[in-house]
Amino acid sequence: MFFAWGEIYSLFPSTVTDTYGATYATTNTGFMYTAKGTASLLVPFTSLIAAKGNWHPVFMMAAAMAIIAGLMAVFVLKPMRAAYTSRLGAGSVDAMAKLATR
């Protein structure tokens, strides 16, 4: 599945549910899909830039966005996930059961 569909269909729903809980899993996953769709609107702009014969700005912009996403994962998502799991006392079997039922 991952090979054919990519992370949007295989990893996003489980990551969102594990991070924010199952209460609003559908709503949060919808936001993730909306973000992916919004990002796809950048494609025409990059095509216009590349049409001038130089792909360098396109690759630099993609590299910058990848670096920003990595930094956000480390400095935003990781602390949020740690706070969420510490509230539940994760690490025990009971806490994992609580995570599964939320």
Q: How large is the average pLDDT for residues 89-95?
A: 55
**pLDDT digit string (tens) for 53-72?**
888 988 998 899 899 989 99
Structure confidence at residue 72 (pLDDT):
92
pLDDT at 91 exceeding the cut of 60:
no
Q: How far, CA to CA in Å, does 6 sit from each of 3, 10, 51, 101?
A: 6, 7, 28, 26
pLDDT for residue 17 is more than 60: yes
> To 10 degrees, what angle do helices 78-88 and 93-101 make?
110
Amino acid 13: pLDDT: 82
Q: Where are the domains of the chain?
A: 1-40, 45-102
pTM of the model: 0.55
Q: What is the pLDDT of residues 72-81, one digit of tens each?
A: 989 998 888 8
